[in-house]
């Protein structure tokens, strides 16, 4: 690469930085990654809540007891009861 091309490329890169193109691109990337992460977390939370609702219905119908329901989602009985009480509000 000739010195002229090198200098022109350097000027272009510096111009992009000064005009905010690179910063804007990084901000968009970070925003998009945040959105994707938020969607993933939302799906996980929804799946967990669905499990809680199903287990609560099984307990309510007398199919399983609270101890078994809590065990199936790796919670203590108190934690399971607390989640159910919060969900009712």
Query: Which DSSP string corresponds to 18-70?
Result: HTTHHHHHHHHHHHHHHHHHHHHHHHHHHHHHHHHHHHHHHHHTTSS-HHHHH
pLDDT of 31 over the 80 cut: yes
Task: Select the more confidently predicted residue: 28 or 68.
Answer: 68
**Domain of 28?**
3-88
Q: What is the pLDDT of residue 79?
A: 93
pLDDT bin (cut points 50, 70, 90) of residue 27 is confident
Number of other residues whose CB lies within 10 A of the CB of residue 73? 14
pLDDT score of 32 = 85
More confident position, 73 or 16: 73
Overall domain count for the chain: 1
């Amino acid at each position: 690469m000739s010195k002229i091309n090198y200098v022109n490329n350097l000027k272009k890169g510096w111009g992009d930085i000064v005009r905010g193109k690179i910063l804007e691109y990084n901000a968009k990337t970070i925003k998009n990654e945040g959105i994707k992460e938020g969607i993933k977390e939302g799906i996980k939370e929804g799946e967990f809540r669905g499990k809680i609702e199903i287990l609560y219905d099984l307990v309510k119908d007398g199919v399983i007891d609270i101890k078994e329901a809590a065990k199936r989602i790796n919670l203590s009985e108190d934690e399971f009861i607390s989640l159910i009480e919060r969900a009712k509000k």
